[in-house]
Structures are given as structure tokens and as C-alpha cells.
């Protein structure tokens, strides 16, 4: 009960802020010991839990160093360890990889996924990057403070943009007419052949190749862009794709 059991509720929640909130004059070990006292981690397991968390984020060898001597990535990893120290049931991460280099960013994500599997913790995470968001079970998109969409990654990508199929045939005019009659789709024509959009292109393509009466010279499937900030991805998705699967038929 969040009203009558406020202390217990707070102890069941872990939080990693976007901006650093460590005491840089203390060592990594001292920061975690202080946090353990604040959150009433039992003395019988306190030191073992601290060692476990520091080992997980690969900071055990630097536990006695002052935090001000840590790199940005090391500080982020220490904050992650601190957020998990008191066995929270729910962990909130506010842009945990902001400003980190790619190598450190990937390492942070290794820890996050390991935590979810090993600790059984529910994780709420904010990010501007679609490749990070795709790792979640469910994604909520907020625009100007309003929730505009919430669903699984695959469902959201499908709703934002359809797959794009490009095909070259022995007779594009005939193929375009067949596509219109058989699938009720108007294919666009250009110098490279025919292009049209379809939901679940991966499922559609084998049947399309098998059923089209016109000889197919080549066909490609392009999928939505996912490695851009959410705002850019939502603007670009209907226009292009980031990956291409090319199949040439001889």
C-alpha cells in the first residue's frame, strides 16, 4: 500500500538518475556502504551484496578509489550497482547511456539485461534511441508530455511503417496490373522496376514470388529504420529502410 506503507514501497524501488548523484569525495565502496545503510540492507548480507554488485559491474578492483577519479562510464556503472544494491523489485533508469562511448554503452546494456534475467527486476527505462528501446518488452512513446503509443517493439514498428518491396520483372506493366488485381496494391513504377508497401513483408514475399505470373528478375525487401533517435525515426520510417535483403532469381 503506497499510502500506509511508504517506507516499504521506497525500499522496493531502485532509481538511477540521468545526472550523476554520487559523492565523489568517497570511494566506490563507501558510496555503496552509505546507500546500504540508508536502505536498511541487513548487516548479515551487506558486505557480500556490495561485493556482488561491484563485481558484476567490474569495479571491485577500483572499490577503494575515490569516485572523482572514475571515468564517466565507471560512474554510470557504479550508479547502476547502487540502484540494485537493496534488492529492488522495480528499477527506474533515466537515460542510463546518455553521453557514453559506444563500448561503455554496450557494456551498460549487458548489465541491464543480466539484471533483468538474474534478479527478476522490473525495469522502467527512458531513452531516445530506438535500438535501445527495441530491447524492451513494451515501449511507450511520449510526445510533449502525452502518451501517444504503447505496445511491443514489433507492433509499433509495423504501425509506423510497412515493409517496402522492390521488384524487377520481365514485363513490369503486366506485373503491376497483376499486383493490383491479385493483392489490391498500386505499385509505383520507376527506372528500377516496381515498388510497393506491404505489412509483414517477410511473410508476404515467398508467396509473392511463387504466385506472380510474370518472370521475376530480382526482388528486395527493406525494413524500417530502428537505429535512430525516436523523433527522427518516426519522420523517416515511411520513406526508407536501414536494412535490405536482396534476392536475385536467375
Type and span of the H or E element at 233: helix 230-236
Please tell me the predicted confidence (pLDDT) of residue 158. Answer: 65
Q: What is the pLDDT of residue 147?
A: 85
| Level-2 CATH architecture, domain 156-248 | 2-Layer Sandwich (3.30)
Q: Which of 62-66, 71-75, 119-123, 201-205 has the highest mean pLDDT?
A: 62-66
Strands (E), 97-242: 122-126, 139-143, 146-151, 163-169, 188-190, 193-198, 216-223
Q: What is the pTM of this model?
A: 0.61
pLDDT computed for residue 230 by the predictor = 46
Q: For domain 6-126, give the CATH superfamily.
A: P-loop containing nucleotide triphosphate hydrolases (3.40.50.300)
For the chain, give percent helix, strand, coil, nearest 5. 45, 25, 30
CA distance 45 to 59: 19
| Mean pLDDT value of segment 104-120 | 82
Task: Please state the domain extents for the chain.
Answer: 6-126, 156-248
Looking at the predicted structure, is the pLDDT value of residue 15 above 80? yes
Bridge partners, 220 (sequence order): 166, 246
How far apart are alpha carbons 127 and 105 in whole angstroms?
Answer: 12
Structure confidence at residue 161 as a pLDDT band (50, 70, 90) = low
Amino acid at each position: 500500500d503506497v499510502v500506509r506503507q511508504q517506507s516499504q514501497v521506497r525500499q522496493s524501488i531502485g532509481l538511477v538518475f540521468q545526472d550523476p548523484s554520487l559523492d565523489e569525495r568517497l570511494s566506490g565502496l563507501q558510496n555503496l556502504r552509505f546507500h546500504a545503510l540508508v536502505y536498511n540492507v541487513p548487516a548479515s548480507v551487506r558486505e557480500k551484496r556490495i561485493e556482488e554488485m561491484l563485481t558484476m559491474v567490474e569495479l571491485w578492483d577500483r572499490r577503494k578509489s575515490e569516485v572523482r577519479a572514475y571515468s564517466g562510464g565507471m560512474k554510470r556503472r557504479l550508479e547502476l550497482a547502487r540502484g540494485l544494491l537493496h534488492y529492488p523489485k522495480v528499477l527506474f533508469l533515466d537515460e542510463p547511456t546518455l553521453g557514453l562511448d559506444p563500448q561503455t554503452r554496450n557494456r551498460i546494456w549487458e548489465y541491464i539485461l543480466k539484471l533483468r534475467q538474474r534478479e527478476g527486476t522490473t525495469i522502467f527505462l527512458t531513452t531516445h534511441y530506438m535500438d535501445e528501446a527495441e530491447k524492451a518488452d513494451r515501449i511507450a512513446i511520449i510526445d510533449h508530455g502525452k502518451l501517444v503509443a504503447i505496445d511491443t517493439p514489433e507492433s509499433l514498428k509495423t504501425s509506423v511503417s510497412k515493409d517496402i518491396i522492390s521488384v524487377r520483372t520481365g514485363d513490369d506493366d503486366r506485373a503491376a496490373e497483376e499486383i493490383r488485381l491479385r493483392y489490391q496494391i498500386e505499385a509505383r513504377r520507376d527506372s528500377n522496376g516496381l515498388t510497393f508497401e506491404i505489412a509483414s513483408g517477410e511473410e508476404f514475399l515467398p508467396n509473392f514470388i511463387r504466385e506472380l505470373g510474370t518472370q521475376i528478375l530480382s526482388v528486395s525487401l527493406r525494413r524500417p529504420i530502428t537505429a535512430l533517435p525516436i523523433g527522427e525515426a518516426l519522420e523517416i520510417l515511411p520513406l526508407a529502410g536501414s536494412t535490405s535483403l536482396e534476392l536475385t532469381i536467375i
